[in-house]
Amino acid sequence: MKTFFLMMAICSIVLAPGAEFAVAAAVDVPDTMAERVKPCVACHGSEGVAGKDSFYPRLAGKPKGYLFNQLRDFRDGRRYYRPMALLLENLSDEYLMEMASHFADLKQPYPPPEPASLTPGEAALARRLIENGDSARNIPACVECHGKALMGTPPFIPGLLGLPRMYMVAQFGAWRSGGLLRGRKADCMSEIGKQLTVEETNALAAWLSSRPVPERDFSVATLAAEMAQRCGDIVRSSAE
């Protein structure tokens, strides 16, 4: 968690050039998508692949509705990261959707898997949650929503492969902290995130990040009705 806050502080410094650019853009720069996403590139990398390190998540190829929901959440204070909230604060839903589409359509190769750093017990724990969940705590199997191959159920549910371990650790920490940083309005994922222990989420992040991303698109087309109901608004955006 300490690293997480340190990185947030570093990011606030990085933001400065982007903020200047946004002001300049209002003057006479043409409104092309390349111009729109220029402030984003400083952190997220030019092809949306990833930034300088795993703290800056990849955007390329993530499902459009998911990216849109995140942008809206940052703008409206439901997911907290100040440098982005400032960049997004005056943007319309339509504008956010166009940026979400842009990044969703970028097809870029994934990084190789991270070296696995878990004991056999931790790997078994991760696989049990992924395949079976934990009915005693009303936690469905991760595959129920994230797809059999863990490559997501577009347009709202992202894949879990190809994400850096430290990024996932930070996201689980954000949900666990009671929705202060992510999931301020309770949703199906934040409810699960709050229940998982640190041992479980460390094992999940280590196991998931050590899996290669399949070359073919293995995302799942439809979300089971029971899961859709559980997720409610999050998988039923008005903008879709």
User: Which sign, positive or negative, has the C-alpha torsion 132, 138, 140, 142?
Assistant: negative
Report the residue count for the chain: 240
Cα angle 214, 151, 92 (rounded to 5 degrees) comes to 130
In angstroms, what CA-CA distances link 73 with 49, 69, 90, 227, 234? 21, 6, 13, 21, 11
Site for ligand HEC in 208-227 (CB under 6 A): 227
Please pick, from the candidates 151, 163, 169, 213, the single residue that binds ligand HEC as defined by CB under 6 A: 163
Q: Rounded CA gap, 44 and 37, in Å?
A: 10
Stretch that binds ligand HEC, among 26-34, 112-120, 185-193, 209-217 (CB under 6 A): 185-193
State the nearest-atom distance from the C-beta of 219 to ligand HEC, in Å.
Answer: 13
Task: Give the contact letters, 133-152, x = binds to ligand HEC (CB under 6 A), - = no.
Answer: -------x-x-xxx------
Q: Tell me, what amino acid is at 41?
A: V
Report in angstroms how near the CB of residue 77 gets to ligand HEC at its nearest.
Answer: 13
Work out whether 125 is an interface residue with ligand HEC (CB under 6 A).
no
- CA 19 to CA 15: how far, in whole Å? 6
Q: What b/e string do you get for 2-19 counting C-beta neighbours within 10 Å, with b at 16 or more?
A: eeeeebbeebeeebeebe
Contact 99, 105 (CB under 8 A): no
What's the one-letter identity of residue 163?
Answer: L
Nearer to ligand HEC, 62 or 176 (CB): 62
Q: List binders of ligand HEC among 17-56 (CB under 6 A).
A: 18, 37, 39-40, 42-44, 55-56
C-alpha count within 13 angstroms, C-beta hemisphere, residue 166: 12
State how far the Cα of 118 lies from the Cα of 45, in Å rounded to an integer. 29
Quick note: the x/- pattern for ligand HEC over 81-120, rule CB under 6 A, is x-xx--x-----------x---------------------
Least Å distance between CB 150 and ligand HEC?
9
As measured in angstroms, the least distance from the Cβ of 120 to ligand HEC is 19
Q: Which residues bind ligand HEC (CB under 6 A)?
A: 11, 14-15, 18, 37, 39-40, 42-44, 55-57, 59, 62, 66-67, 69-71, 81, 83-84, 87, 99, 129, 140, 142, 144-146, 156-158, 160, 163, 168, 170-171, 174, 181, 188-189, 192, 204, 227, 230-231, 234
